[in-house]
Amino acid sequence: MNILGVSGSPRGQRSDSRRLVERVLEGAEAAGARVELVDLGDLHIEYCLACDSCHARGTCSRTDDVVPLKEKMLAADGLVLGSPLYFNSVTAQLKTVIDRMADVIHCQRFLGKYGCSVCVSGGPEHEIGTSYMNSVLVRLGCWIVGAVGATRSVPGSFEEAQHDATVLGHDLVQAIQEKRKYPEQEIIHAEMRERFRQLIILNKDRWPHEYEYWRDMKWLG
Ligand SMILES: Cc1cc2nc3c(=O)[nH]c(=O)nc-3n(C[C@H](O)[C@H](O)[C@H](O)COP(=O)(O)O)c2cc1C
């Protein structure tokens, strides 16, 4: 079982949200998973150009570090996203990586994976960050196991979150092992499937790669 952590903070080893990702990975490793951390601060990341190449041909026109990162994410059984809260959202680094997942969402390629997220904020709103990251993961097809957040200005909040993050890592592995299902997320998965089914049919000629993927999956109905 492979669990991949992705840290979106630009602060490298000084980052508190990266430390929470590390705690989740430690919990997952102790529960028997193979784990890897990718720090987006170490990568060369370019913007999505909305060129349609991924939809039409299945390949990205960019040749940066997001291309192999995406392959790693596709190969993982579990994903841990981490970011500080920046202006009530995730960092630009993580958002830019998410924007590069346009074909992943159209083809629901994270179906069957499990995910969770962690966020650290200066004020009390870290849940805005984890809700956003988990809403992205579930719409890409993941089952969401949970979230952990901390407020830097509240004494004890980060320490508690570090403990909770380790527990979350353990639970992530358990959810994967028992193939846990979440009925409320099943509804979102079904909505996404129908939304993208209609979109793929509508764009059959523009996006032959995605149309073929859907046909091969026997999802066109
Ligand atoms: C550009 C920028 C924007 C920020 N925006 C917010 C914000 O909207 N809300 C908040 O509570 N904290 C905000 N913060 C504070 C960070 O979320 C906080 O310092 C966090 O602990 C940093 O996490 P890190 O150590 O993982 O980088 C912001 C910090 C920066 C540098």
The pLDDT tens digits along the chain (221 residues) read 999 999 999 999 999 999 999 999 999 999 999 999 999 999 999 999 999 999 999 999 999 999 999 999 999 999 999 999 999 999 999 999 999 999 999 999 999 999 999 999 999 999 999 999 999 999 999 999 999 999 999 999 999 999 999 999 999 999 999 999 999 999 999 999 999 999 999 999 999 999 999 999 999 98
Ligand 1 site-directed mutation target among 37, 85, 119, 158, most atoms within 8 Å of CB: 85
Residues with CB under 6 A from ligand 1: 9, 11, 15-18, 84-88, 120-123, 125, 152
CA gap 186, 192 in Å, rounded:
10
pTM > 0.85: yes or no:
yes
User: What is the per-residue burial (b if ≥16 Cβ within 10 Å, else e) of 195-216?
Assistant: ebeeebeebeeebebbbebbee
Atom of ligand 1 minimally distant from the CA of 85: 17
Q: Which residues contact 63 (CB under 8 A, 6 or more apart)?
A: none
- Answer whether 81's CB lies under 8 Å from 98's CB: no
State the distance from the centre of ligand 1 to the C-alpha of 153, rounded, in angstroms.
11
Atom of ligand 1 minimally distant from the CA of 121: 17
Residue ranges covered by each domain of the chain: 2-180
Closest-CA residue to 24 (of 168, 197, 192, 204):
168
- Answer whether 100's CB lies under 8 Å from 48's CB: yes
- Atom 24 in ligand 1: which residue has the minimum CA distance? 15
- Identify the CATH assignment for 2-180 out of 3.40.50.720, 3.30.1330.20, 2.30.110.10, 3.40.50.360: 3.40.50.360
The interaxial angle of helices 183-202 and 208-216, nearest 10 deg, is 130
